[in-house]
Structure 1
């Protein structure tokens, strides 16, 4: 496996998954409720800035959500395996590999003060903090993103859940270019805001039980990038319709299958009208499956 920086993707994946499992174990022991699952999704319309717009990816993920005395936790680890249209090295037929981790902890203010703060359509308020981190071994950029997030969250009264947050983002990166052999020192972008939403809403079509799940991020530009070029506002919408297949077998909320769609405009803050090209604009249908335990 090709290396980048001082670590191989295999090392990063191993470290990330180990940290995720430790976090899951700690959360589960103290949780009022929890949902842990393994997932798989596949699509052929992925795109990468400065790269191709017809990338196929197999994506495996470990997800965990739980509630505790004062709020909720969410953790997701994606392993993204690209085909040769997103190569791991210059002139390579091997696809790139990426691991992307997201963690969010929302502290419910009402639970902390011991009072129901909900009113009308609002279920309550919280403070969300967390991080994103990734590592990727592709031909050109080799992202090593690190990002901290913090901001207020509003929870809405809906079947399932709907949470909307306004977050401040502290993001940095330290890419390694395999074409030139240049390692860029870790660079911090301007602190910038994001409007985010996450939801999971059950519904029925006749006798068929389904759920509408996903997230949305609108992220403002983050100043100049590590190469002195301006960044652009970014919009990412990712949603799926899932069917509880396990309910047919008498094991409700265990095995789900469905269809997912992602629309990503100015991916990672790169303008699709600039040098990043059409690879910074993606419209990607996918199939998805999850096993919950």
Structure 2
């Protein structure tokens, strides 16, 4: 409980103004997963918000494998603005950052700092550096990059977004450095269906070296993607 208290306290939006918020549901179907059954379906709930104190991102995955295995995994990532940069440059803000990773048999705590960038053509580009407090072993380091780039092909609206996680090795445990680059290429169907909320159809691709820190386990996994924002 003591470990949880800093995150609970920091995540309370006391007298905070909500500037924007977004909910989404997505469905993935892929056949090239590593570690466990290769064929899986994944339902994901996501929530993101921007506030006067910073913002937060939450997602919960529910995984169903063809062999009958089921798993739930989630992350909660609050950010707290330390400084806003004026002007029209790339650097927008400096933030304190944290993440809680919760799986079936573990809970990891990450804490560090992040920088928010907005180069031309990007909705956002964030770089965060964390110290990982691993539940089942020694601490390590993680760098996370997230981005979103909208673009048009003819009259169609597209979005290319995703994340890259790099985690350092833990030599004493034999855990290898791991790099997970997961991106989504999505076509916005909303204009063709007369919807008020964005509905995307596309593909998610995971390029993951040393998955879960397991040396030599490399995942190259394309998934059918359907995502609805509401």
Equivalent residue for 1:247, pick from 160, 166, 191: 191
2:212 is the alignment partner of 1:268? yes
Looking at CA atoms only, which structure, 1 or 2, has the larger radius of gyration? 1
Q: How many residues align?
A: 215
2:89 is the alignment partner of 1:154? no
Match runs of 1:98-117 below 5 Å: 98-110=71-83, 115-117=84-86
Quote the offset at 1:291 in angstroms.
1.5
Contact persistence 2:100–2:109 (CA under 8 A): yes
TM-score normalised per structure 2: 0.87
Partner of 1:207: 155
2:208 is the alignment partner of 1:292? no
Post-superposition Cα deviations, 1:13-47, rounded to whole Å, max 9, x if no partner, equal xxxxxxxxxxxxx89x9522101011100100111
Match runs of 1:63-212 below 5 Å: 63-84=46-67, 95-110=68-83, 115-117=84-86, 120-135=89-104, 144-158=105-119, 159-172=122-135, 187=136, 189-212=137-160
The 1:214/1:234 distance shift into structure 2, 3 A limit, reads same
Quote the offset at 1:166 in angstroms.
0.9
Structure 2 residue runs without a partner (length 5+): 1-12
Post-superposition Cα deviations, 1:47-95, rounded to whole Å, max 9, x if no partner, equal 10xx56xx110000110011111111100000011122xxxxxxxxxx2
Distance 1:69 1:169 in 2: 27
Contact persistence 2:85–2:91 (CA under 8 A): no
Of Structure 1 and Structure 2, the greater strand share is in: 2
Partner of 1:275: none
Quote the offset at 1:221 in angstroms.
1.1
TM-score normalised per structure 1: 0.69
State the SS of the aligned residue for 1:224.
Answer: helix
The 1:215/1:42 distance shift into structure 2, 3 A limit, reads same
Post-superposition Cα deviations, 1:70-129, rounded to whole Å, max 9, x if no partner, equal 111100000011122xxxxxxxxxx2111110111111222xxxx535663212211111
